[in-house]
Structure 1
Amino acid sequence: MKTGIKLIDLARGTDILGKYKELVRLWDNKSPLEEARNKNLAGFLLAIRSQNRFYSPLLGRFSPDEIIDNPQKVLTDMPVIDKKMLSENQHLVFTPVKGVDYQFKKTGGSTGEPFRYYVDKEHLSWMWAHNYLFWHNNCGYEPGEPFVTIAGNSLRTVNKKFSESIYHKLQNNYFLKGDMIDNNLKPDLSKLKKAVLIYGYPSSILNIIKSVPEFSSHFKGLRAIFTTSEQLIPSVRRQIEAAFNKPVFDIYGANDGGILGCECPEHQGYHYNFLNCFAETLTTEDGFTELLLTNTNSQNYPFIRYRVGDIGSITSDRCICGSAWPRIIDLKGRTRDLIRKPDGGSIHGAYFNKILFDFPEVDAYRIVQETDYSVTVYIHLKQMQLFDKMATKLTATLNKLLPELSFSIVQMQEYNPTNAKFKLIESHVNQSM
């Protein structure tokens, strides 16, 4: 089934299989990776220096030789950026480069602040290549083998070159929508039987095995489960592992920052793609260490020293598993609850991301469900004088899409997603885990 991935590469101009083969060759050899990383960083900074409207003046203070000799030193002289800064300067940051293909992306992220950006096709190649590498290292997966995805929009691999069903077929990926799950789910049992791994949101995987208790029994060739996009709490890991009797490996990633990391069998942090993403840490006013990411495969829309919004540390100490790849440790994500429906079904938070993207006036939101199933949507607008109009329009949309729930729209007075108590999606409906 590698033929399907080759067709995807051919159609969208990526090189996933080529990058994957290179990573397999380099996995246990750190020296070439260190050399390649510095070379990649220097080449990236030189390219941005010559062609990006935002960074050319900043990098122009350094000669090409200075950048080549010590790219890491030059990098630390660049300003720290975040989503707000990028959005405000998008007319300068987004500088299309001739001959470097890119793709539009959008995300609500874990903070509820909509963000629109672009990624290079080179970035897409490396991200999927690393995914395959992590799957290969942990369960012997080979690209083209069948797998099941249980998730919402952030993991949907729709591409304008194909219909979604054809794209997933070429991947040998059986996609189950994980943002809305109920007891009436009727999966294709033949596809479950053949799948060698499950990839998806931990909350969606847990919810599906609770809604359809016999679900796990249909997998005959399953080797492992890979969770992503949410914080994996220990109790959820234990329940998923118990249901399938297979190990769970958590994946940490940020498409905008260009980072992708995965646990190894030791579960002592996330080995990450340091060949393509230069990760640093910044100590916040509260004393936390926040990740700063530089995506060296982002020429059209550079992410340089980007505050991705996640708290964690980086260690280069050799892992017990034997790998020399550095790890992200002490990662503290933000949990995302499911919104519950009176009939026992549930709605994943990613579903609301999709809805709110149609309201560009909303620059932040938070959703809270009370014990009586009523839902309050707190929104923050760029122009708060438009609140009444937006509230009426948003209420009508939500009532149409989710008539079984009652919604109220409230102005968000304070938006602080770095607060430890902040949760984008919060449900108080009593559901035993």
Structure 2
Amino acid sequence: MRRGEVMEEKMYSKLFRRIIFPLIEISEGTKIQKYLKLLEKTQWWKPEDIKKMQDRKLRALIKHAYEHVPYYHRLFRELNLKPDDIKTREDLRKLPFLTKDIIRKNFKDMKARNIKGSQFLEVHSSGTTGEPLKFYISKDVYSYSWAQTLRCWGWAGYKLGEPYVKVDMEERKKSLKRIQDCLMRCLHIGASTINENSAEEHLKRIKRFNPKIIRSYASPAFLLARYAREFDIKIQPNAVMTTGEKLFPHYRETIEEQFDCEVFDCYGGEATPLAFECEMHDKYHLCDETAIVEILRGNEQVSPGEIGEIVFTNLDNYVMPFIRYKVGDVGIPSDEMCECGRGLSCMESIEGRVGDLVVTPNGNFLLPNFFTNLFKDIEGVNKFRILQENPHRIDIKLVKNEKFTKEDADYILKKIKGMAGEDVEVNIEFVDSIPPTRSGKERFVISKVNIWK
């Protein structure tokens, strides 16, 4: 970029932050910049001060839910509980979990009766493993969600108003969204449109756009990196921000090598940001100011280093409170603080969906990383998917090429049986193709075994 273009870029970014974006916020009724400034301060608070903030917000949310949300008022009465019984995050275990089925069955009663329609938004989950979930969020939640995201992007060097690429599962169809993208200096690409016929043109568009960052689901970012290598197209953003699905080690390695930048992984669920990598890339910082995250087995917090199911409470959604919501993912907590010095609590890793874990007969787990590491260096395998119906059998669908050998098949069986157990039946089926899931996300493992039994 020429010197004059750099100066013009900086001037527009300042104009955007100081005038254009504040006007957008007034029009939309949001407070993104206000909350971003707050979060940039609170990240450096002491952990005990952040916890006090969490507990204070939790008490206010519980009181509101009891008084204004029919579902929670009824639930508290059935459990013989009062709002004063839930004062800290430790008290949350007195309440049952919230699930998608519960929300669907009690949809009307989940919504607060004292909040007007102009103050909330209707959103839908991506429906990774089934039917998308419809729910409501307040404009405060929308604002905090963007503020948490922008804080993380800031860790990667991004400033509001700078150009970025957003790779989403679907193409933009609504004119309003396209106008919003234009104002936000966002180049939007639908992941479903990335293939061998279109990839070169997508990459050339990205190169011309010269984004500061690329925000993408993990698997489309990996695909773009591979195609960029194939077509010898050099793109060098400041960072790639992955989200929406598990970031496998070989994904990160390929993206960082091809785009010559760092990857920052981000995690959330149902319009609630939950965890982000910082510049240290050692752990995930939890979004303590806006959510309480529990990592559980049953109703008990697992120990650091153990795998558990992720449950969260959104502390700001007064329209439709998500209290102890089972998001359907598993992760590993950490009791260590990050070397970056931020006071936010941490988790060690996000291991994917509950249904991404293969369960062995003795109750141990085979994580998705085991399978991706197993297959990544076998040249004869183009694509694979692991399927499990019960702990005693593992089915493998393989798309092979001319380099696949009998020795490769023997090696695969040996490695899997060595981890799962010699008595486990392992079957390989060769197929012509493996379609993505209905949501468009890539899933290497699909298990229907209850991991906690």
- TM-score surpassing 0.5? yes
Q: CA deviation at 1:218?
A: 5.0
State the match for 2:330 in structure 1: 311
Q: 1:292 aligns with which of 304, 311, 315?
A: 311
State the match for 1:145 in structure 2: 162
Is 2:31 aligned against 1:15? yes
Q: Hey, what's the Cα distance between the residues in 2 that align with 1:190 and 1:84?
A: 40
Is 2:137 aligned against 1:122? no
State the match for 1:270 in structure 2: 284
Q: Hey, what's the Cα distance between the residues in 2 that align with 1:22 and 1:192?
A: 35
Is 2:250 aligned against 1:235? yes
Is 2:98 aligned against 1:81? yes
Q: Hey, what's the Cα distance between the residues in 2 that align with 1:17 and 1:111?
A: 34
Q: Which amino acid aligns with 1:372?
A: D
Q: Hey, what's the Cα distance between the residues in 2 that align with 1:216 and 1:255?
A: 37
Q: CA deviation at 1:214?
A: 7.3
Q: 1:157–1:167: 8 Å Cα contact kept in structure 2?
A: no
1:89–1:208: structure 2 CA closer, same or farther, 3 Å change rule? Answer: same
1:213–1:227: structure 2 CA closer, same or farther, 3 Å change rule? Answer: same
Q: CA deviation at 1:216?
A: 7.8
State the match for 1:25 in structure 2: 41
1:363-398 C-alpha deviation (Å, 9 max, x unpaired): xxxx999733486999xxxxxxxxxxxxxxxxxxxx
State the match for 1:94 in structure 2: 111
Q: CA deviation at 1:227?
A: 0.6
State the match for 1:175 in structure 2: 188
1:294–1:368: structure 2 CA closer, same or farther, 3 Å change rule? Answer: farther
Q: CA deviation at 1:181?
A: 1.1
Is 2:153 aligned against 1:135? yes
Q: Hey, what's the Cα distance between the residues in 1 that align with 2:122 and 2:398?
A: 30
Q: CA deviation at 1:215?
A: 7.2
Structure 1: 5+ residue stretches without partners = 337-366, 379-414, 421-433
Q: Which amino acid aligns with 1:175?
A: H
Q: Which amino acid aligns with 2:154?
A: H
1:140 is paired with a residue whose SS is: coil
Q: CA deviation at 1:54?
A: 0.7
1:47 is paired with a residue whose SS is: helix
1:79–1:302: structure 2 CA closer, same or farther, 3 Å change rule? Answer: same
Q: Which amino acid aligns with 2:129?
A: T
1:162-184 C-alpha deviation (Å, 9 max, x unpaired): 61221011222111222221333
Q: Hey, what's the Cα distance between the residues in 2 that align with 1:296 and 1:157?
A: 30
Q: Hey, what's the Cα distance between the residues in 1 that align with 2:263 and 2:25?
A: 29
1:419–1:169: structure 2 CA closer, same or farther, 3 Å change rule? Answer: farther
State the match for 1:110 in structure 2: 128
1:22-45 C-alpha deviation (Å, 9 max, x unpaired): 111222112542222111111111
Q: Hey, what's the Cα distance between the residues in 1 that align with 2:45 and 2:436?
A: 52
Q: Which amino acid aligns with 1:10?
A: I
Q: 1:106–1:115: 8 Å Cα contact kept in structure 2?
A: yes
Q: Number of residue pairs matched? A: 347
Q: Hey, what's the Cα distance between the residues in 2 that align with 1:157 and 1:322?
A: 39
Q: CA deviation at 1:143?
A: 1.2
Q: CA deviation at 1:232?
A: 0.6
State the match for 2:391 in structure 1: none
Q: Hey, what's the Cα distance between the residues in 2 that align with 1:157 and 1:301?
A: 27
1:24–1:5: structure 2 CA closer, same or farther, 3 Å change rule? Answer: same
Q: 2:225–2:254: 8 Å Cα contact kept in structure 1?
A: no
- Between structure 1 and structure 2, the one with the greater Rg is 2
Q: Hey, what's the Cα distance between the residues in 1 that align with 2:184 and 2:231?
A: 22
Q: CA deviation at 1:325?
A: 0.8
Q: 2:115–2:319: 8 Å Cα contact kept in structure 1?
A: no
Q: 2:307–2:332: 8 Å Cα contact kept in structure 1?
A: no
| TM-score, length of structure 1 as denominator length | 0.71
1:313 is paired with a residue whose SS is: strand
Q: CA deviation at 1:249?
A: 1.1
Q: CA deviation at 1:146?
A: 1.1
1:320–1:377: structure 2 CA closer, same or farther, 3 Å change rule? Answer: closer
Is 2:68 aligned against 1:55? no
1:300 is paired with a residue whose SS is: coil
Q: 1:120–1:300: 8 Å Cα contact kept in structure 2?
A: yes
CA-atom RMSD in angstroms: 3.4
Q: Hey, what's the Cα distance between the residues in 1 that align with 2:173 and 2:287?
A: 24
Q: Which amino acid aligns with 2:167?
A: I
Is 2:176 aligned against 1:166? no
Q: Hey, what's the Cα distance between the residues in 2 that align with 1:215 and 1:117?
A: 42
2:312 is paired with a residue whose SS is: strand
Q: Hey, what's the Cα distance between the residues in 1 that align with 2:90 and 2:436?
A: 47
Which is worse superposed, 192-201 or 233-242? Answer: 192-201
Q: Hey, what's the Cα distance between the residues in 2 that align with 1:46 and 1:150?
A: 39
Q: Hey, what's the Cα distance between the residues in 1 that align with 2:173 and 2:285?
A: 27
Q: 1:8–1:167: 8 Å Cα contact kept in structure 2?
A: no
Is 2:267 aligned against 1:252? yes
More helix by share: 2
Is 2:325 aligned against 1:333? no
Q: 1:371 aligns with which of 431, 434, 450?
A: 431
Residue identity (%): 25
1:282–1:172: structure 2 CA closer, same or farther, 3 Å change rule? Answer: same
Is 2:261 aligned against 1:261? no
Q: 1:193–1:219: 8 Å Cα contact kept in structure 2?
A: no
| TM-score, length of structure 2 as denominator length | 0.68
Q: 1:229–1:253: 8 Å Cα contact kept in structure 2?
A: yes
Q: Hey, what's the Cα distance between the residues in 2 that align with 1:22 and 1:88?
A: 37
Which is worse superposed, 93-102 or 76-85? Answer: 93-102
Q: 2:332–2:351: 8 Å Cα contact kept in structure 1?
A: no
Q: 2:214–2:239: 8 Å Cα contact kept in structure 1?
A: yes
